[in-house]
């Protein structure tokens, strides 16, 4: 069960943002300024709940509250909070001779957007805490529109600094870090088609293995898993979106990935969006992923090696997520400029080709979101 009291800081933050925006919007201003939109305030608040459930006795419930207040066309402030509650008695938990557990992660976020003409900048900070893990995440980004806004160049960078502990062991204290860089270009080809190309790079360092996973050697001996202290990741992404008539749009994404651990992967995402009738839209998506295993991954280890893992998701696998979403968006409704409600349901399946504990995992992900604009 989620402790509702842990959501009060997030709810209060969202309400404070909305109240500030409403108060600002209600203040009389200079007529010329208001006519140009410089004095306008756009406030949005949204709440979202999702539930993950698989056939390996794991459930994850995620609740999030976020708010955004835009002051004119140049400045916007964002804030939010998220709570994850994980309950698991999976085969990995049982194999490690650990009792079923329930853990909670709290995350608080803040950000700002600036825009001037064809240039946009953003900055975000997030703090995440759970009983054995804490992290600070900072990211910055920027974009520039060119050629009468038919071309957009964008870039971003991020830094994550983490402290890793182990439940029941106060002496265990490790660190991990991650640095990311992204660049992309988006191009409008015609009135119906947009394509984009991007690169994402990431460097991970520090403790990259789990303090709870153990590798079983020949003879039944178990030892803690050990991963390399650094990992370099690279991904190329191509996206395309096209309107097929006035009520139908299709999209296709392809992501090619490789890293210094020897993992190579391809992820394909296809989307079909249809306007069913006034205020209602249907979206159906399918995401398919296939990857090779890390160079040091083994189904079983005969002897102790420098690098060993018990993480089956570093082995060869395929997975597929498929499901629909229904979106309803109103026009002006009472004090709100608009109300948006979305419901999503996905089914997923993983196939592990070289795992000694389970060969597959299946389950569902359900989500509901509500957004109000003032």
Q: Are 234 and 250 in contact (CB under 8 A)?
A: no
9 CA to centre of own chain: 21
Instruction: Quickly count: other Cβ atoms within 10 Å of residue 207's Cβ.
Output: 19
Dihedral Cα 127, 131, 133, 135, nearest 10 deg: 10
Q: Which residue has the higher pLDDT, 39 or 302?
A: 302
Distance (Å, rounded) from C-alpha 287 to C-alpha 161?
Answer: 30
Residue 35: per-residue pLDDT: 42
* Lowest-pLDDT range of 28-37, 45-54, 99-108, 310-319: 28-37
Q: How far apart are the first and last CA of the chain?
A: 32
Q: Which fold has domain 132-373?
A: Maltoporin; Chain A (2.40.170)
User: What tens digit of pLDDT does each residue of 165-223 get?
Assistant: 998 898 999 999 999 999 999 999 999 999 999 999 999 999 999 998 999 898 888 89
pLDDT reading at 37 higher than 80 = no
User: What tens digit of pLDDT does each residue of 119-144 get?
Assistant: 999 999 999 999 999 999 999 999 99
Q: Nearest-5° angle of CA 62, CA 63, CA 66?
A: 130
Report which of 315, 308, 306, 373 is spatially closest to residue 341, judged by C-alpha positions.
373
Half-sphere exposure of residue 372: CA atoms within 13 angstroms, side-chain side: 15
* Lowest-pLDDT range of 13-22, 226-235, 239-248, 279-288: 13-22
Q: Where are the domains of the chain?
A: 1-108, 132-373
The pLDDT confidence band at residue 90, using thresholds 50, 70 and 90, is confident
Residue 96: per-residue pLDDT: 59
Computed over every residue of the chain, the mean pLDDT equals: 89
- Three-state SS at 6: helix
pLDDT reading at 27 higher than 90 = no
* Lowest-pLDDT range of 14-28, 65-79, 108-122, 208-222: 14-28
DSSP 308: B
Residue 29: per-residue pLDDT: 45
Q: Are 354 and 297 in contact (CB under 8 A)?
A: yes
Q: Are 66 and 80 in contact (CB under 8 A)?
A: yes
Sign of the dihedral through C-alpha 22, 24, 28, 33: negative
Sign of the dihedral through C-alpha 242, 245, 249, 252: negative
Dihedral Cα 327, 333, 337, 343, nearest 10 deg: -20
């Amino acid at each position: 069960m989620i402790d509702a009291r842990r959501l009060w800081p997030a709810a209060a933050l969202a309400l404070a943002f909305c109240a500030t925006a409403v108060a600002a919007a209600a203040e009389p201003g200079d007529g010329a300024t208001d006519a140009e939109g410089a004095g306008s305030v756009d406030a949005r608040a949204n709440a979202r709940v999702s539930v993950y459930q698989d056939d390996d006795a794991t459930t994850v419930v995620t609740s999030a509250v976020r708010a955004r207040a835009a002051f004119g066309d140049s400045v916007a402030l964002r804030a939010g909070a998220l709570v994850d509650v994980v309950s698991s008695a999976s085969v990995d938990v049982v194999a490690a001779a650990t009792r079923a557990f329930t853990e909670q992660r709290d995350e608080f976020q803040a950000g700002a957007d600036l825009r001037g003409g064809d240039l946009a900048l953003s900055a975000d900070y997030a703090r995440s805490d759970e009983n054995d893990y804490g992290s600070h995440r900072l990211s910055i980004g920027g974009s520039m529109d060119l050629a009468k806004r038919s071309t957009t160049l964008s870039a971003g960078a991020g830094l994550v600094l983490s402290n890793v502990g182990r439940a029941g062991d106060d002496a265990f204290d490790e660190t991990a870090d991650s640095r990311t860089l992204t660049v992309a270009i988006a191009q409008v080809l015609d009135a119906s088609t947009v394509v984009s190309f991007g690169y994402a790079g990431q460097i991970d360092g520090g403790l990259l293995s789990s303090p709870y996973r153990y590798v079983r050697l020949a003879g039944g001996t178990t030892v803690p898993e050990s991963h390399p202290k650094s990992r370099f990741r690279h991904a190329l992404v191509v996206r395309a979106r096209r309107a097929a008539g006035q009520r139908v749009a299709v999209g296709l994404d392809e992501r090619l990935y490789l890293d210094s651990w020897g993992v190579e992967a391809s992820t394909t995402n296809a989307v079909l969006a249809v306007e069913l009738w006034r205020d209602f839209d249907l979206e159906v998506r399918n995401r398919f992923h296939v990857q090779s295993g890390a160079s040091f991954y083994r189904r079983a280890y005969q002897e102790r090696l420098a690098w060993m893992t018990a993480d089956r998701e570093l082995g060869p696998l395929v997975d597929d997520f498929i499901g629909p979403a229904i979106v309803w968006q109103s026009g002006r409704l009472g004090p709100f400029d608009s109300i948006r409600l979305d419901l999503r349901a996905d089914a997923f399946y993983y196939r592990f080709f070289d795992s000694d504990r389970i060969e597959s995992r299946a389950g569902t992900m359900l989500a509901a979101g509500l957004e109000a604009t003032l």
